[in-house]
C-alpha cells in the first residue's frame, strides 16, 4: 500500500487561491483518482455563527501561517465506534 504524503499539516492557516476563502485546515483526504484535498474551516462570522467549511485541491491552497495550531489528538473512535460498543453490550 502506498503511503500518502500530504504537503500541508492540519491546523495550518490557509487560503483558497480561487475563491479567497481563508481559514484553518481541519481535514485532509486522498480521492480515488489520487487528488489530495483539504478542508478549510473559516472562522465564525460577525454574528458568532459557524461558517460552512469547504474542500479544496492541494495545488489550489496558499499557506498563510506556516506554524500549525497544536491540537491534542484524542482518538476515541468517534460516534460510529461508540455506537458499535453499545450494540456489542446488548448482544452479550
Task: Read off the pTM.
Answer: 0.73
* All domains of the chain in start order, with CATH: 13-91 (2.40.50)
Lowest mean pLDDT among 24-28, 61-65, 67-71: 67-71
Check if the beta carbon of residue 64 is closer than 8 Å to that of residue 21: no
Coil, strand or helix: which one is 14?
A: strand
Task: Round to whole Å and give the CA distance between 86 and 92.
Answer: 11
pLDDT tens digits, 7-52: 999 999 999 999 999 999 999 999 998 899 999 999 999 999 999 9
Contacts 24+ apart (CB under 8 A), 26-34: 26/53, 27/53, 29/55, 30/4
Amino acid at each position: 500500500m502506498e503511503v500518502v504524503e500530504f504537503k500541508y499539516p492540519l491546523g495550518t492557516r490557509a487560503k483558497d487561491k480561487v475563491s479567497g476563502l481563508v481559514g484553518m485546515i481541519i481535514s485532509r483526504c486522498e480521492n480515488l483518482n489520487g487528488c489530495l484535498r483539504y478542508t478549510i474551516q473559516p472562522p465564525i462570522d460577525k454574528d458568532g455563527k459557524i461558517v460552512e467549511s469547504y474542500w479544496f485541491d492541494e495545488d489550489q491552497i496558499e499557506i498563510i501561517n506556516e506554524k500549525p495550531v497544536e491540537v491534542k489528538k484524542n482518538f476515541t473512535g468517534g460516534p460510529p465506534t461508540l455506537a458499535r460498543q453499545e450494540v456489542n453490550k446488548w448482544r452479550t
